[in-house]
A and B are shown apart, each in its own frame.
Chain A
């Protein structure tokens, strides 16, 4: 009977990485509450599949991939129950955080986070998001341009 030692317990790693996981989840969902739900769901999956994690590469990469796939699955479920989509969209829009990242078009914040903040290479980050590296590079450029525009706008206001 071999219980995982505290050092190898993935729950401990998950708690340590929780702020970064929530941040990534927030780039996908756009709302803090949904991000927390997404992280909770993905963390449960990661714990149940922890035996698949062989310790190769960065644990964050595996967890980010888990969050993204969980988000995709949930999005599909939501699309199936499309009845009151307009209401949900409006509520989600209301819950969006008010900082600069909220002004980014959908999908750009997560690209920017993985490349410029988490430091993943294009190929690995593209794999996490399930897109082609070329598309990732394009979106990353678009994210930087959008943020540059926000920065310029902010400077003009201050001036």
Chain B
């Protein structure tokens, strides 16, 4: 059965019946219904048809509903819903590694430790640190300490020496005991030097004995000359002569000890003093 195609007027009247028209269109149709008997007749026919259809559909509601259909719907299972059941409290984390895990962890720690150790060993700064902390590794640090102490005390007038020259026995005992180096107090009066006393300090991590002299005549009147000695150092078996800023330094070594004469860089006879001291000390 084919669907009949309504005319434009029929479509307008049908929409008019359902209030599906604009106000202007509605006004036009109302005028048309007043003036056009054919349109009015068509409109009445549409209403009669609608009434017939409504009655027919209303009658359908009076028909009994099959009981099996009602029963099917009533007994239909509802969809399952996601249900969150009350859960037991979450167990606390327990650390129970298996044997394989323990071995793997040990291997990991070993590799990490080895790697860190390798990196530290290959680090220049660390090497410098170890040399600084271990005596005899770097003569440069040792020399720096010697010179630093000289500069510190050479300017002292009242506290130049720890033990004054008047107590030579104390000086010998104190410095020999602590440095492990046997020595004598050289008499350098020929070089215009007067013995002022002695000190004990640490340089490069080892104790150093220091004999202090003051020049009493000549050009550098009042200059302090220091003779330092310590136990033999691995790098200390060679003679050093050098000038650091205002300080001059001459060192020599014997099989048992390393010696050093420190004075102002203006002292031209420092090597002569060193030669004399080496024979007398």
Contacts and interface: CB of A to CB of B under 8 A. Distances in A.
Contacts of B3: 105-108, 139, 142
A32 to B, nearest CB: 8
B73 A11 contact: yes
Interface string B198-223: 00000000000000000000000000
Contacts of A143: 49, 53
A4 B78 contact: yes
Majority secondary structure of chain B interface residues (helix, strand, loop or mixed): helix
Nearest to B13: A141
A152 interface: yes
B223 to A, nearest CB: 102
Contact of A138 (B6, B45, B74, B79): B6
Given A26-B60, A108-B3, A142-B4, A101 B53 contact: yes
A141 B48 contact: no
Majority secondary structure of chain A interface residues (helix, strand, loop or mixed): helix
Interface of A: 1-4, 9, 11, 14-15, 18-20, 22-23, 26, 36, 39-40, 43-44, 47-51, 99-101, 104-108, 112-113, 115-117, 121-122, 137-152, 154
Contacts of A19: 60-61, 63, 65
A145 B65 contact: no
A101 B49 CA distance: 11
Contact of B10 (A22, A105, A116, A145): A145
B61 A101 contact: no
28 contacts: A1-B83, A2-B81, A2-B83, A3-B78, A11-B73, A18-B70, A19-B60, A22-B69, A23-B57, A39-B69, A43-B73, A43-B76, A51-B79, A100-B52, A100-B56, A113-B57, A139-B3, A140-B18, A141-B6, A141-B14, A144-B49, A145-B45, A145-B46, A146-B4, A147-B52, A151-B45, A152-B45, A154-B52
Nearest to B3: A105
B15 interface: yes
Contacts of B106: none
A20 B69 contact: no
Contacts of A106: 1, 3
A99 B4 contact: no
B65 A18 contact: yes
Q: In the complex, which range does the number of interface residues on chain B fall in?
A: 35 or more
A141 B79 contact: no
A77 B81 CA distance: 31
Nearest to B1: A105
Given A4-B78, A14-B73, A115-B18, A148 B56 contact: no
Given A51-B79, A100-B53, A100-B56, A105 B73 contact: no
B57 A11 contact: no
B134 interface: no
A157 B13 CA distance: 27
